[in-house]
């Protein structure tokens, strides 16, 4: 039962919560031990809360999941974990995580609570509303980024919040496209909202979001505010998101990937190397001997 419960928390999806460290890095707090510890705590809180959301989602969708070739193997859908035990575990985990969030600071706790409410609403009803479903998923990533900044008590650029929203929207739309392609005529039976989408519509939306994401990051690196805080160096990191997004599109269209963004990011070596080089370049620019400002 314990093993089934842990599997239901989907630790393989916790890489999404690494976004909370963006505030630490771009807030120039990476050398501050107290801030690092708070960011790690914020990461743990979001891992716990995302696990709560997965439990609630799996309880509600257990009947539909039993018809899916992969989801039918999930502990709740397969019967390895009872809905009652899963619900009780979700309640205890949620209360503990929110208490931990409050111990970090009140603002972070408010964002963490907002995340749980938004994602629970998604599991209950918003995932059945076209366009709102992907916007809600993207909103969860924005709350992660904002929560990470709140945990270490730094401001977070509006450009970065917009970029987070657009990048998350890009991945959510790509996920919907991959689901339609993979499930084909059975798509609507496994996920009702897929009946409202088509590959053509999703390709149009992905094209808009792709261009917007790259432009948002370019504008952020060249904005007077960013240059005044960090110098002009970030503009040289533009090739990394450019390659990363194009690589992801390649995997979606040519390799039938994108159905599980977290898995794609950690299993595709070129994409993983691109992310690692990007993070390394940003840290070098923001924290190297030429860094012009110790503050965000």
Domain boundary among the residues 111, 126, 156 is at: 156
> Is the domain of 162 the same as that of 283?
yes
Domain boundary among the residues 141, 156, 171 is at: 156
> Is the domain of 93 the same as that of 236?
no
Number of structural domains in the chain: 2
The proportion of the chain whose per-residue pLDDT surpasses 70, expressed as a percent, equals 95
CA dist 194 and 180 (Å) reads 7
For the chain, helix, strand, coil in percent to 5 are 80, 0, 20
Instruction: Give the model's confidence band at 296: pLDDT under 50 very low, under 70 low, under 90 confident, else very high.
Output: very low
> Is the domain of 31 the same as that of 96?
yes
CA dist 232 and 219 (Å) reads 12
Ramachandran sector of residue 249 (left: φ over 0; alpha: ψ -120 to 50; beta: rest): alpha
> Is the domain of 133 the same as that of 225?
no
pLDDT at 266 over 70: yes
> Is the domain of 111 the same as that of 2?
yes
Domain boundary among the residues 156, 189, 211 is at: 156
If one compares 68 and 31, the residue with the highest pLDDT of the two is 31
Cβ-based neighbours of 105, under 8 Å, separated by 6 or more: 150, 151, 153
Instruction: Give the model's confidence band at 187: pLDDT under 50 very low, under 70 low, under 90 confident, else very high.
Output: low
Average pLDDT over residues 141-147: 95
> Is the domain of 185 the same as that of 252?
yes
> Is the domain of 167 the same as that of 151?
no
> Is the domain of 132 the same as that of 58?
yes
**Residue 203: which domain range?**
157-296
> Is the domain of 164 the same as that of 109?
no
CATH number for position 106: 1.10.357.140
Q: Are 241 and 214 in contact (CB under 8 A)?
A: yes
> Is the domain of 133 the same as that of 222?
no
> Is the domain of 7 the same as that of 139?
yes
> Is the domain of 181 the same as that of 104?
no
Q: Are 65 and 77 in contact (CB under 8 A)?
A: yes
pLDDT at 79: 85
Instruction: Give the model's confidence band at 294: pLDDT under 50 very low, under 70 low, under 90 confident, else very high.
Output: very low
Q: What is the pTM of this model?
A: 0.88
């Amino acid at each position: 039962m314990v093993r089934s419960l842990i599997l239901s928390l989907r630790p393989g999806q916790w890489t999404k919560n690494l976004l909370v460290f963006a505030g630490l890095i771009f807030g120039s707090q990476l050398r501050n031990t107290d801030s690092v510890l708070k960011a790690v705590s914020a990461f743990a809180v979001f891992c716990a809360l995302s696990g709560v959301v997965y439990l609630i989602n799996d309880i509600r969708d257990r009947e539909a999941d039993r018809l899916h070739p992969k989801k039918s193997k999930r502990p709740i859908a397969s019967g390895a974990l009872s809905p009652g035990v899963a619900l009780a575990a979700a309640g205890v985990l949620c209360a503990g995580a929110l208490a931990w969030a409050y111990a970090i600071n009140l603002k972070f706790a408010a964002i963490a609570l907002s995340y749980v409410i938004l994602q629970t609403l998604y599991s209950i009803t918003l995932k059945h509303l076209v366009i709102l479903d992907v916007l809600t998923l993207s909103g969860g990533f924005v709350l992660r980024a904002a929560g990470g900044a709140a945990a270490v008590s730094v401001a977070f650029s509006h450009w970065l919040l917009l970029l987070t929203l657009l990048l998350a929207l890009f991945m959510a739309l790509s996920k919907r496209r991959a689901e339609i392609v993979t499930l084909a005529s059975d798509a609507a039976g496994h996920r009702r909202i897929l009946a409202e989408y088509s590959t053509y519509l999703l390709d149009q939306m992905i094209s808009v979001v792709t261009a917007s994401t790259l432009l948002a990051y370019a504008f952020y690196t060249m904005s007077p505010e960013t240059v005044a805080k960090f110098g002009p160096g970030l503009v040289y990191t533009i090739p990394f998101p450019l390659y990363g997004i194009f690589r992801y599109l390649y995997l979606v269209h040519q390799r039938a990937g994108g159905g599980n963004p977290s898995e794609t990011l950690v299993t595709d070596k070129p994409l993983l190397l691109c992310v690692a080089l990007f993070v390394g370049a940003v840290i070098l620019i923001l924290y190297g001997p030429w860094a012009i400002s110790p503050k965000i």
